[in-house]
Structure 1
């Protein structure tokens, strides 16, 4: 039986077309997540904070145009070392994913909501990654080298809308997408599978 998270269902209901119903709706895992690239980005952020602080302590002469780069390094370092974890968490708290009989809907955004819609029949490639606890990420479309190392739920989204990340029971959701596609194909050609 497909899962319908009440918050995601309510959030996505205004995005549905007339006569369209949600078969599945959920939100990603809302907690803090430590990813493999954090092994590099967090220490790099700490180095930027240290270098920016050193820069500011040496330049206590008050020359404004020399203080700005130091402040930038400190603030960017704070973001890399800690801020992006909070942004990533907030991004996933506000995201909602849905599957209807025709399309996949991804609604996300921290400051403003964006809605992405993918017609299931036209998706050429779909894949998923699964963790030990059956949760994972569905990737809609082809993988691009490096694109998923800092994925959309992370603070470095770069506007990549085609991930349904950190969803529970990812394999069943993946299978549901193919069931919908199979049903659409059968209806199109009046064939029973």
Structure 2
């Protein structure tokens, strides 16, 4: 299990002080856009799997050459359908589980793509695959130059802090769909978001006065 404070501490410069560290919410999460995406994924995935099974039975019953060609097309569609229905939730949960956030007296730090040294046996293969597709990245934003910081708070005090103008697809970020990541740097689904937001604003004001 990751220690966010240890991960962020490894990124600190000499004389830099860590004010806060944390991670996004753990586990499977359903977001607002899933109201529309889940029915669509069920229709797409259901059709893709039905098509793949139909072609498979055709080949089994002696369908011949055309049947094998159809199977080559059907398998990728079925895999995409399974990802849309189930896999994207697992991938997105693993990505959140390997993300750490930090606030220092100089900047905001976002570290993604981390891998546990000894992942649990039941998720080791999936974790390794996600890690291979999502290499480790470190992003830092200087408090002195940040001008647009917004906060969205939800029930239970959890929410998201966005650093910069929101892109048009921001509401689809975090849903696990390819190409729909957080283009705008964010602290996604953090606990006590109002307190973290206030801490960032306070650190930013102190940074401006330096």
Class of the TM-score when normalised by the shorter of the 2 chains: 0.7 to 0.9
The residue that corresponds to 1:154 in the other structure is 175
Name the TM-score, length of structure 1 as normaliser: 0.85
- Tell me if 1:50 matches 2:50: no
Consecutive unaligned residues in structure 2, runs of 5 or more? 114-129
Instruction: Within 5 Å, give how 1:88-103 maps onto structure 2.
Output: 88-103=92-107
Say whether the 8 Å CA contact 1:46–1:78 is kept in structure 2.
Answer: no
Q: CA RMSD in A?
A: 1.8
Aligned mates of 2:188, 2:24 — CA distance in 1:
6
Q: Which secondary structure does the structure 1 equivalent of 2:156 belong to?
A: coil
The residue that corresponds to 1:122 in the other structure is 145
Matched residue count: 180
Q: Which secondary structure does the structure 1 equivalent of 2:94 belong to?
A: helix
Say whether the 8 Å CA contact 2:159–2:188 is kept in structure 1.
Answer: yes
Consecutive unaligned residues in structure 1, runs of 5 or more? 1-5, 188-193
- Tell me if 1:13 matches 2:9: yes
- Tell me if 1:186 matches 2:190: no
Instruction: Within 5 Å, give how 1:162-181 maps onto structure 2.
Output: 162-181=185-204
Aligned mates of 2:176, 2:142 — CA distance in 1:
27
Say whether the 8 Å CA contact 2:164–2:184 is kept in structure 1.
Answer: no
Q: 1:13 to 1:161 in 2, by over 3 A?
A: farther
Name the TM-score, length of structure 2 as normaliser: 0.79
TM-fit CA distance, 1:71? 1.5
**Partner of residue 33 from structure 1, selected from 26, 29, 32:** 29
